[in-house]
């Protein structure tokens, strides 16, 4: 059964109390204060103002203009553009000079944010790039009077034997190039077309898996517009891969994620599962984790599940060792004294399995790995597990534009027709037996916003509802590649992105791996291929980096 928490629905006192109109009538709620978003030597602080003011529309989003990233590479980074052309025809001759101009504009724009790139290297053009080309053996001309594989007048017989794969000319050129890539070089792939996922998958397979070189992709039609907004969005991802921090919560807001007794940051984990990377193939699971008191870096690991459509991560504990090692490296050899585990993608009827299988696996693993890293000392930190359900049928609609806060000031209770970001509902429509609540932490870009439904399934830290609600809301403001708060806590999004990147690896090598696998003579079944062949682990060079962002 689900771990039961008694007397946890204590009604919050922070923020403005409002009524929310739902399908079942009115329910009480409150609005959490937006956390202070911190940049280098500057902050973005929200203050309550009444509805209709310009500030009201900015709650839940901010502008990087006038701010710099918290931390960036200390040395200048060489940025080399590689134009990837997946067509047989070469691009126009003018493209090279246009790319030079766009690279200079990119370097100028991102320097305002604190990232220094050297773009003096001449862009490199690679033509005819694509996934391995499938070819079949046989297929000779058939004889008179036959059909299909028996041949036919002037026709070709069916191919015989397994297919072979030929590396594309563009891939051969790229492999030769990456063999000699200098250190301190970041690769910017400029894609001639942005609608070919096979090209993207193959680029990531080669660069991330085989060579472990930092890289990003941009689409030429977008990049050549020289938009500062587009360039800023691109460099947000690049800075995270370079171990930088774009923005974070203020020190005051981060205190909630620091263990008061040990003064160590809580280890915040996020996990997710993606299904059917290819037809009838096993699911892919991921686990990401923080390692410092900024909570801006979440490296992670992935693995292939035991079967297709398998949602519960039976062996999630096997992914814990790297999370503990990296945490220890950044905290003077100490291990986390508290762990907070966010789990995405599970339904209500799977909650008990999450506790019995996944939480148990994590606890067994930390008990096993902890003494190995901790000089043989016993290690068993308390764990809190929270499930996030972002696909639900609940919608909140404000029934007034303004309300009075605790100071008697009139403040907004709706944003762009939706409830204000930070709106919490933990009574009326929540479970009477379990520890759950809703938070609408983001400002909807269009239409009606969807709140996230949080379920605290297991809690050895004995958290109050006020505490967990504020933690969950605050973590929605640290998603590193966005200048907005998001629907679910950042580690949940990161775990989803890591699953997506692992899927790219899986797809890029799937047909080739299956074709090369041994198969019993006369068998019609698919050959059995080991997990490590179907989904290899990422190169050690970038294993501790958010390469997937």
- Average pLDDT on 58-83 reads 94
CA proximity to 489, closest of 435, 426, 441: 441
pLDDT band at 55 (very low <50, low <70, confident <90, very high): confident
Instruction: Please say whether the beta carbons of 116 and 69 come within 8 A.
Output: no
Please give the structure tokens belonging to residue 542.
Answer: 């970038």
Average per-residue pLDDT for the chain: 90
Domain range for 106 is 73-141+158-244
User: Which one has a higher pLDDT value, 132 or 161?
Assistant: 132
User: Which one has a higher pLDDT value, 433 or 85?
Assistant: 85
Domain CATH code at residue 99 = 3.40.50.2300
For residue 388, give the 3-state DSSP assignment. strand
- Domain co-membership, 240 together with 250: no
pLDDT at 523 over 50: no
- Domain co-membership, 225 together with 256: no
- Average pLDDT on 278-306 reads 96
pLDDT of res. 90: 86
- Domain co-membership, 107 together with 256: no
Tell me, yes or no, whether 525 lies in a domain: no
Tell me, yes or no, whether 403 lies in a domain: yes
pLDDT of res. 404: 85
User: Which one has a higher pLDDT value, 103 or 28?
Assistant: 103
Tell me, yes or no, whether 430 lies in a domain: yes
d(CA 149, CA 146): 8
- Domain co-membership, 251 together with 239: no
- Domain co-membership, 194 together with 280: no
pLDDT band at 161 (very low <50, low <70, confident <90, very high): low
Instruction: Please say whether the beta carbons of 526 and 193 come within 8 A.
Output: no
Tell me, yes or no, whether 187 lies in a domain: yes
- Domain co-membership, 323 together with 227: no
pLDDT of res. 171: 96
- Domain co-membership, 288 together with 240: no
d(CA 499, CA 390): 17
d(CA 355, CA 525): 36
Tell me, yes or no, whether 310 lies in a domain: yes
pLDDT at 383 over 60: yes
- Domain co-membership, 328 together with 457: yes
- Domain co-membership, 263 together with 405: yes
Instruction: Please say whether the beta carbons of 217 and 203 come within 8 A.
Output: yes
pLDDT of res. 19: 85
d(CA 247, CA 253): 13
Question: pTM value?
Answer: 0.92
Reported as type and span, the H/E element at residue 380 is none
Number of domain units in the chain: 2
d(CA 301, CA 496): 12
- Domain co-membership, 125 together with 214: yes
78 bridge partner residues? 118, 185
pLDDT of res. 231: 98
pLDDT of res. 50: 87
Q: Which of 219, 244, 269 is the last residue of a domain?
A: 244
- Average pLDDT on 14-36 reads 84
Percent of the chain scoring above 90 in pLDDT = 71
Instruction: Please say whether the beta carbons of 474 and 256 come within 8 A.
Output: yes
Burial of 306 (0-12, 13-18, 19+ CB in 10 A): exposed
Tell me, yes or no, whether 150 lies in a domain: no
Tell me, yes or no, whether 368 lies in a domain: yes
- Domain co-membership, 201 together with 345: no
pLDDT of res. 150: 46
CA proximity to 241, closest of 262, 214, 219: 214
Instruction: Please say whether the beta carbons of 481 and 236 come within 8 A.
Output: yes
301 bridge partner residues? 287
pLDDT of res. 138: 62
Largest Cα span, the chain: 95
- Average pLDDT on 361-389 reads 96
Q: How far is CA 13 from CA 131, 239, 350, 405, 424, in A?
A: 57, 38, 32, 10, 11
Sign of CA dihedral 66, 42, 488, 305: positive
pLDDT of res. 144: 47
Tell me, yes or no, whether 11 lies in a domain: no
Note the residue count of the chain: 549
- Average pLDDT on 440-457 reads 93
pLDDT at 435 over 50: yes
User: Which one has a higher pLDDT value, 13 or 347?
Assistant: 347
d(CA 84, CA 81): 9
pLDDT at 142 over 70: no
pLDDT band at 526 (very low <50, low <70, confident <90, very high): low
Q: Which of 211, 244, 277 is the last residue of a domain?
A: 244
Domain CATH code at residue 261 = 3.30.420.10
Q: Which of 455, 478, 498 is the last residue of a domain?
A: 498
- Domain co-membership, 328 together with 352: yes
pLDDT band at 172 (very low <50, low <70, confident <90, very high): very high
Sign of CA dihedral 147, 148, 154, 160: negative
């Amino acid at each position: 059964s689900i771990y039961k928490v008694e007397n946890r629905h204590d009604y919050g006192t922070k923020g403005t109390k409002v009524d929310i109109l739902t399908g079942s009538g009115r329910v009480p709620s409150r609005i959490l204060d937006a956390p202070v978003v911190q940049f280098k030597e500057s902050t973005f602080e929200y203050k309550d103002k009444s509805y209709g003011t310009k500030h009201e529309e900015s709650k839940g989003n901010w502008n990087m203009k006038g701010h710099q990233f918290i931390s960036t590479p200390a040395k200048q980074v060489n940025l080399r553009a590689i134009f990837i052309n997946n067509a047989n025809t070469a691009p126009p001759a003018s493209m090279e000079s246009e790319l030079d101009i766009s690279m200079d504009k990119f370097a100028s724009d991102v320097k305002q944010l604190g990232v220094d790139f050297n773009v003096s290297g001449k862009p490199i053009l690679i033509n005819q790039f694509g996934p391995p080309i499938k070819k079949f053996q046989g297929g000779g001309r058939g004889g008179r009077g036959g059909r299909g594989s028996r041949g036919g007048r002037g026709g070709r017989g069916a191919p015989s034997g397994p297919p072979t794969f030929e590396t594309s000319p563009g891939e051969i050129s790229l492999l030769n190039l990456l063999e000699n890539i200098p250190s301190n070089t970041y690769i910017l792939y400029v894609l001639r077309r942005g609608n070919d996922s096979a090209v993207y998958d193959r680029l990531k397979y080669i660069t991330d898996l085989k060579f472990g070189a930092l890289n990003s992709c941009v689409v030429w039609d977008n990049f050549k517009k020289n938009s500062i907004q587009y360039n800023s969005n691109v460099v947000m991802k690049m800075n995270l891969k370079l171990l930088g921090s774009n923005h974070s919560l203020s020190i005051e807001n981060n205190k909630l994620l620091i263990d008061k007794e040990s003064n160590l940051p809580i280890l915040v984990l996020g996990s997710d599962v993606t299904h059917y990377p290819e037809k009838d193939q096993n699911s892919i699971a991921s686990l990401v984790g923080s390692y410092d008191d900024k909570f801006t870096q979440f490296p992670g690991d992935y693995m292939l599940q035991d079967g297709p459509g398998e949602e519960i991560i039976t062996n999630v504990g096997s992914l814990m060792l790297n999370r503990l090692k990296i945490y220890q490296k950044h905290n003077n050899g100490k291990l986390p004294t508290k762990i907070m585990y966010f789990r995405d993608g599970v339904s209500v009827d799977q909650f008990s399995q999450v506790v019995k299988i996944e939480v148990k696996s994590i606890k067994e693993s930390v008990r096993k790995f902890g003494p190995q890293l901790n000089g043989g000392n016993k290690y068993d930190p308390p764990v809190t597990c929270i499930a996030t359900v972002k696909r639900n049928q609940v919608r909140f609609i404000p029934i007034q534009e303004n309300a009075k806060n605790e100071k008697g000031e009139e403040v907004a209770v709706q944003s762009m027709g939706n409830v204000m970001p930070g709106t919490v509902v933990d009574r009326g429509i929540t479970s009477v037996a379990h520890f759950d609540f809703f938070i609408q932490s983001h400002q909807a870009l269009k239409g009606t916003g969807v709140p996230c439904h949080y379920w605290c399934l297991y809690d050895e830290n004995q958290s109050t509802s006020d505490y967990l609600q504020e933690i969950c809301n605050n973590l929605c403001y640290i998603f590193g590649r966005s200048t907005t708060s998001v629907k679910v806590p950042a580690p949940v999004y990161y775990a989803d992105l890591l699953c997506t990147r692992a899927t790219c690896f899986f797809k890029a090598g799937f047909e080739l791996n299956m074709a090369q696998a041994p198969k019993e003579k006369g068998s019609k079944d698919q050959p059995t291929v080991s997990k490590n062949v179907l989904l290899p682990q990422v190169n050690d060079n970038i294993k501790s980096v958010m390469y997937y962002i």
